[in-house]
Structure 1
Amino acid sequence: MIDWSAVALLLASLGGGDAPVGAHEPLQLAQVSIRQQIIIRVPVRSRKVAPPKPSPVEWKESRGPRCVAAGTIAGASLLGQSSVDLLLRDNSRVRAKLENACPALDYYYGFYISPNPDGQICADRDVIRSRMGGQCEIEAFRRLRPAPRD
């Protein structure tokens, strides 16, 4: 897009005309900053539609990371109002324990996470935003490991 007012000022300053040299008004410059915001929409598979038979794998929780790189999140599975399982690109799982019950997550399938400039989603810092507008703070991450059922 061309800023015609800037072109007109430039032509007027170069145009010779009848005005004596130095009689022109000084050319003023301005700076424009453009900020970019990234919001990640995470698709959710609801666990309320239970499979007809129980899964042969049981997930055991263990100590998890403080932060998860936002770019590694491939999807999520909603467990209820207090936690969400994040499915990572390397086929591992991390459970995000939410500080309070988050009833808005059940209404729409999906939620938003806005990573900080460092590209990380961190416990005790970041929130999960529902598509309905509510938000829930992430209290902790727990790593999930498969353990066969007996």
Structure 2
Amino acid sequence: MATVYRPLDADQVRIEQTVTIRIGPRPAPVTLAPAFFESEMDSSGPRLVERKFGNCVPVAGIMGVQPAPGNRLLLIMRDQRLLTASLKKGCNSRDYYSGFLIARNQDGLICTGRDKLLARSGANCQVDGFRQLIQVGS
């Protein structure tokens, strides 16, 4: 008599889906000298000053990214604002020269202390804080 094999009953089935968003580098990089980020410049020309910003940034609002001096990334927003994202200690912004990947959240935001930015080079860092760059002077 032939033995009949029955498939085992599954008590639990888990289906997981992840969506990864890629933020690419800005096509024509803006060259920002470190002096743009210093609070005391000798010239009376225009300079950029960092101001406090919230803890989260909408992913859909980011048009491009490029490394900035120190451990910061320059985020170019679709609404023409410039933001800097400070990376956690031990992270190097130059690792993000070709943009970054981020797992999509339900709220669609990148938040400090929660989300990790994955560089295409393999670096994986959390954002420590966001600041907005505002031009002062003429």
> Normalising TM by the smaller chain, what interval?
0.5 to 0.7
Out of 11, 14, 20, the residue aligned to residue 39 of structure 1 is 20
Q: Determine the C-alpha separation between the residues in 2 that align with 1:66 and 1:112.
A: 19
Out of 100, 107, 114, the residue aligned to residue 111 of structure 1 is 100
> Is the 1:46–1:78 contact (alpha carbons within 8 Å) kept by the matching residues of 2?
no
| Bigger-Rg structure (1/2) | 1
Matched position secondary structure for 1:60: strand
Is it true that 1:143 corresponds to 2:124 in the alignment?
no
Q: 2:73 matched to which residue of 1?
A: 84
Q: TM-score, normalised by structure 1?
A: 0.63
Q: 2:116 matched to which residue of 1?
A: 127
> Is the 2:102–2:117 contact (alpha carbons within 8 Å) kept by the matching residues of 1?
yes
Structure 2: tracts of 5 or more residues without a match: 1-12, 37-44
**Number of equivalenced pairs:** 120
Matched position secondary structure for 1:62: strand
Q: 1:80, CA displacement in angstroms? A: 4.0
Q: Deviations over 1:36-67 (max 9, x none)?
A: 4222222224999958xx98642210111110
Q: TM-score, normalised by structure 2?
A: 0.68
Percent identity, aligned pairs only, is 32
Out of 68, 72, 76, the residue aligned to residue 57 of structure 2 is 68
Q: Determine the C-alpha separation between the residues in 2 that align with 1:84 and 1:47.
A: 15
